[in-house]
Structures are given as structure tokens and as C-alpha cells.
Amino acid sequence: MQNQNDQSRMDRIVSLAKRRGFIFQSSEIYGGLNGFWDYGPLGVALKRNLKDAWWHDMVAGHDELATLAGAPSPYEMTGLDCTIIMHPQVWKCSGHFDLFHDWMIDCRESKRRYRYDHLHGRWAAHRGKKVFVTTDASGDEAAPETVARAQKFFGLRAKQVDEIEWGGGLESLQQAIAAGSATLADTLGPDATAPGSLTEPREFNLMFETRIGALAGDDEDRAFLRPETAQGIFVNFKNVLDTSRVRVPFGIAQVGKSFRNEITPRNFTFRSREFEQMEIEFFCKPADSAAWYRYWRDRRWKWYLDLGLTAGRLQLREHAADELSHYSVGTADIEYAFPFLAAGEFGELEGIAHRGDFDLRSHMEGKLVRQDGGLVVETGPDGKPRHKGSGKDLSYFDDITRERFVPHVIEPSAGADRATLAFLCDAYHEDEVPDEDGKPRSRTVLKLHPRLAPVKAAILPLVKKDGMPEVAIDLYRALKPHMACQYDEKGSVGRRYARQDEAGTPWCLTVDGQSLADRTVTLRDRDSLVQQRVAIDEVVDLLRDKLS
């Protein structure tokens, strides 16, 4: 069961995110659009800092001459920025056109649609009448929701709830039907008043469709918004090889929007319909691929820890053999214990997959399927490839060893929005600090890593007179070219500290009477609350050092 405190903590995080301008619902003035989110002034800075940290640590700041800890050898990194709409054949060969779907189920009575694997239920009986009561609620809301639904279904008063006999705990509807312990005819849908209103589950492709050009109409114009950024990298593999001097092993990175028409977007930005991914396709020799897979899994895990995610809320989960995609030799997920999940549950932040040569071969030969332990081109009834590949040679020739091979791929695929949400949740703290008179005051503080914090420093004149604003403005102008900082003279200094704590600003610089006499300011640390006096002329170097 989910911890009550965790759910209310999540509610407070969502409310802070809105109140302080981190995240808004898209098109809110028109009632919002389910599964779409906008980033406000603080949120855009937080998410940009996260993407910049990723790009810097993985690509721009990468030292290709060194052998990094755990890496089998030195390697190169480069980048790409591909279009969101690509040739429709890309998605046919990648497998998304045929296979990228979820199972959905409709309710004929309420006209609502659910993801089959999100429905849970349990048997309830009262005076000889039995029904399998379901809910689409998650976490700690699910069990009480089934009680309320059963009470209503049997027409009971609150004090009669104990008369309901329960046949076990909550289980997945999908599994109960597969095991034969429930049928759709016995099932009371999450918003239905009578059992038997749920339809048989159906496949639903998650790709958003669009049409290209003014003569939109026939099937030739049909196109898709990319559901992942990865395919743009595979189809440009040869372009990158031919135009840059990269040699295997090397990685190509891309950050950009992806779109998935999720059946039930939920849990704030965790499952959105439009989101950003940060993906690397790393190309290596087949014989070295298992070692590179382990390197990337461990490297990506460490990245989240280095940026401050609490180790106890993070989990690295290797997929079991039966969970692996048909092309994968190994996959690990980096998962975070988001507060909206039940205790002991984790949500995926990033997947690191060993994809073998599946992707490059698919774009050469056509859509592949697994057969007798290998990959073969899938054929249609006419014996021809079901989805024809490009026919281009995407193999690699190593001019030192004189070998030609199709590189294997390791793919660390992260979500920028999920990571932003994880860092926001992890940073959220409530504690007590002394106010100006030394009395305890409760505060909300975002203990974000300084690299991620939207504002690095706030410059505050103690009072709006006696020459203090002038000194503070000079300091603000000296610091601004080096880092995001804010000047704030409005309200008591305590209120200004509180505002900055809620925004996650790691340092506050206060100009007071002494500053005018000796050109020093107080530097307040957000987390330790320690205040030290530093020379104004040393502030820029000091904070730059702390940031790096």
C-alpha cells in the first residue's frame, strides 16, 4: 500500500510546481489538455539545466582520448538533431507501425476508455450476489475505491460495508481474466453501474498520425510524429560516418520531443503524450558489446546519483529474459520511487538496452522478426518482405583490422520530463528554520543540485535605502554574465529567503550596513543555513568555483 504521507507529499509538490511556475497544465485557460504540460519560468530553467548537464556530461565534455573508469576503451561522442516527422517507412521497418501498441478496453455504459493493464479488481459478495469490482485508480486510492464501488453496487449504507465478503486482495484484471478467475461478464467496470459493460481488449497504436502536404487525403500522405528520437539516429548512421571522422566505438546523442498517444496519461508529467527524450545510440564491435552494455548501465546509474538523487529511492533493475524485447540481449531500467507510487514500487526514468544489430539491419533489409533464435526479414503472404528496408549498406569497415561488420548498439534512453520530475520530487523538503527574531518558522525548500537549480544566487539588499540597493545592483551585474541570478528588494529579508528556498536557489547574498563599510556581504547556504561573510570582489570566483 502506498504511504498516505507520500501521496499528500506528491499533492504538495504538484501545488508548489504550479504556484511557483515550474509546471502548468497545457492550455489551462481552456480547461487543460490531458497528457500535455507546459514549463513555466522556473521549470524551463530546471529542465534546460538538466538537458544541458546531460549533453555536457555525455557529449560536449566527453574526453575521447581517455579510457574512462569502467569503459573497455576510449570512445568518441557526437550529436544529431533530426526531424519529428520522418519517412513513414522508418516506422514500418523499426517495428513501431506493427507493434507499438497498448491494449485498451472500452466501457459501453460510461463510454470511457482504459488501459487494460491499468485495471485492478477483486471479488465482492453480498447476500449471494457476486461481482468482480474494478478500478483504474493506482497507489493507495485503489483499494478504498473498490470498497466504495461495491457499497454502491450492493446499495449498502456506510455502516453495512462490513457485510461485504471479499474474495482476496486487488489483482490485475488482465491477469485474472488470463487465469480464468474472472470474466468480463462478471466485471463491474470502473465507472459502470452494472457488470458486463467492458468490451474485449483491443490493440491501440500509440503513434500520433498526421498528413503531409496540401493534398492530404490518401494513404500516401500518411505520416507519424516520432514516438522516440532513436530512429533518426539509425537512419543517419551512414551520414555521420561519411561526414565526420568518427570510428567505432562511438556514440550519437540526440535530445528532442517525442509523442505517444498514451491511452491513460497520468501521474503529473510522468506519463505524458508529448515529452522530451535524451537518447544515445552507441555503436560498437559485436564482440565488445556486452562490456559496453555494462559500462553504459553503470555510467548512467552514477549520473543520477552524482546529480543528487537519493540512492535509497533509486533502483537499477535488470530485465528478466522473458521481459526483453525480441531484439534485446540485455536491458536494465533505472527506476525512481516516485511519491505517487505504492510503497515498494518504482517508475522508469531510463532504459539501457543492448539492441544487437537489430536497428541497423532493419533499415538495411526490412522489418525483422525473431526466428529459431536469429533475426530474419518478415515476409508477407506473397513471400516478399512485409516492410522493405532502404537497401543501403549500413555496415562499418574497420580500416585498421580490415574487418567489415554491422555494429551492435547499446541504447541509454532517458526521459527529460521524468528526470525533471524525479529531481523535483527528490529535492522537495519541509523543515524549520529560525526567522529574523530567532523563532522557528516552517519552510518549503527545494534542495536541488546547484547545476540544476534554476537560479544559482539571489542578491538581496537588507533594506531599500542607505546605498544598499546600489551595491547590490553592482554585484548582480558582476555575477549575471556568469550564472543565472536574481536581484530582489521586495519584502522582509526572511520572506525573500523563503521565496528563494522554494525556488531551490542554493545561495543568497545579502548586502547590509557592514557591506558599505568593508565591502563584504553575507553568503547564506540554502541547505546548511550557514551564513559567512565574503568579500564582494571575491563573490564571482567563489560561486563559479562552487558551481564547477
Return the SS3 of 506. coil
Q: Going along 54-94, which residue ranges are E strands? A: 76-79
Residues near ligand ATP (CB under 6 A), total: 16
Judged by CB under 6 A, the residue of 49, 205, 413, 510 near ligand ATP is 413
Tracing cell 508529467 back to the chain, one arrives at: 269
Query: What is the spatial distance between Cα 64 and Cα 230, in angstroms, rounded to a whole number?
Result: 22
Tell me the closest approach of the beta carbon of residue 277 to ligand ATP, in angstroms. Answer: 5
Judged by CB under 6 A, the residue of 92, 120, 260, 449 near ligand ATP is 260
In sequence order, the β-bridge partners of residue 412 are 352
Smallest Cα–Cα separation from 422: which of 449, 456, 455? 449
Cα–Cα distances (Å) from 250 to 71, 174, 350, 395, in that order, read 12, 42, 20, 14
Tell me the closest approach of the beta carbon of residue 341 to ligand ATP, in angstroms. Answer: 12
Tell me the closest approach of the beta carbon of residue 506 to ligand ATP, in angstroms. Answer: 26
Stretch that binds ligand ATP, among 82-90, 145-153, 270-278, 434-442 (CB under 6 A): 270-278
Judged by CB under 6 A, the residue of 6, 136, 140, 262 near ligand ATP is 262
Judged by CB under 6 A, the residue of 417, 488, 489, 501 near ligand ATP is 417
Judged by CB under 6 A, the residue of 132, 224, 237, 275 near ligand ATP is 275
Query: What is the spatial distance between Cα 77 and Cα 55, in angstroms, rounded to a whole number?
Result: 10
Residues in 159-218 that interact with ligand ATP by CB under 6 A: none
Residues in 344-383 that interact with ligand ATP by CB under 6 A: 348-351
For the chain, how big is the Rg over CA atoms in Å? 28
Q: Is the peptide bond before 249 cis (omega within 30 degrees of 0)?
A: yes
Residue 205 or residue 272: which is nearer to ligand ATP going by CB?
A: 272
Residues in 8-27 that interact with ligand ATP by CB under 6 A: none
- Residue 115 in contact with ligand ATP, rule: CB under 6 A: no
Tell me the closest approach of the beta carbon of residue 424 to ligand ATP, in angstroms. Answer: 14
Tell me the closest approach of the beta carbon of residue 345 to ligand ATP, in angstroms. Answer: 12
Residue 351 or residue 504: which is nearer to ligand ATP going by CB?
A: 351
Residue 203 or residue 432: which is nearer to ligand ATP going by CB?
A: 203
Q: Please say whether the beta carbons of 36 and 263 come within 8 A.
A: no
- Residue 277 in contact with ligand ATP, rule: CB under 6 A: yes
- Residue 134 in contact with ligand ATP, rule: CB under 6 A: no
Judged by CB under 6 A, the residue of 47, 120, 149, 271 near ligand ATP is 271
Judged by CB under 6 A, the residue of 235, 414, 472, 511 near ligand ATP is 414
Residue 135 or residue 413: which is nearer to ligand ATP going by CB?
A: 413
* Contacts by residues 330-334 (CB-CB < 8 Å, ≥ 24 positions apart): 330/290, 330/293, 330/354, 332/297, 334/300, 334/301, 334/304
- Residue 418 in contact with ligand ATP, rule: CB under 6 A: yes
Residue 275 or residue 507: which is nearer to ligand ATP going by CB?
A: 275
Tracing cell 455504459 back to the chain, one arrives at: 109
Tell me the closest approach of the beta carbon of residue 93 to ligand ATP, in angstroms. Answer: 17
Stretch that binds ligand ATP, among 171-179, 269-277, 315-323, 518-526 (CB under 6 A): 269-277
In sequence order, the β-bridge partners of residue 23 are 39
Smallest Cα–Cα separation from 427: which of 413, 410, 444? 444
- Maximal CA-CA distance, the chain: 89
- Residue 415 in contact with ligand ATP, rule: CB under 6 A: yes
* Contacts by residues 98-101 (CB-CB < 8 Å, ≥ 24 positions apart): 98/367, 98/386, 98/387, 100/205, 100/206, 100/207, 100/227, 101/203, 101/204, 101/205, 101/206
CA quadruple 66, 68, 74, 77: dihedral sign: negative
Interface contacts to ligand ATP, rule CB under 6 A: 228, 260, 262, 271-272, 275, 277, 348-351, 413-415, 417-418
